[in-house]
Amino acid sequence: MRRKPGTLIPIEIAILSAALALLNRGEEEFHGYQLAREIKTANSDRFRMAAGTLYKALNRMEQSGLLSSRWEDPSSPDVEGRPPRRLYRLTADGEAAYKESTRVATDPSLQAGWQPL
């Protein structure tokens, strides 16, 4: 669905929120598969669904500056035995956008159609 510029859709809020949670645990970077697993455990079985959608969302969010990414070095020893990952990191813009979205969600006067009593 079309969206008003500057607003976040649920999957984006979920991603930003997960990223902030990880950040608070000291993990500055995360990768798509990791998020996919968390989303899987969260809403049980819609994992197949999530994968494609998720990577598209991550890509979009990087395009729009909410996230930045780098590939991990495939020749690094801790990549042994699995394919290399693309590591994402929350940008200042991303953090701000998330905070704004929660603010809007919390303050009724910012909701569409609000009227003073």
Q: Where would I find the beta strands (DSSP E) of 1-117?
A: 29-31, 67-71, 86-90
Alpha carbons 106 and 41: distance in angstroms, whole number: 26
For DNA, how many residues bind (rule: CB under 7 A)? Answer: 34
33 binds, among DNA, a second copy, none (CB under 5 to 8 A by kind): DNA
In the bound state with a second copy, the residue whose beta carbon lies nearer, of 10 and 77, is 77
Alpha carbons 103 and 86: distance in angstroms, whole number: 30
What is the smallest separation between the CB atom of 93 and a second copy, expressed in angstroms? 22
What is the smallest separation between the CB atom of 76 and DNA, expressed in angstroms? 12
Tokens of 28: 């500055």
DSSP per-residue letters across 4-27: -TT---HHHHHHHHHHHHHHHTT-
Only segment of 7-15, 29-37, 45-53, 83-91 that touches a second copy (CB under 8 A): 83-91
Sites of contact with a second copy (CB under 8 A): 70-72, 74-75, 83-84, 86
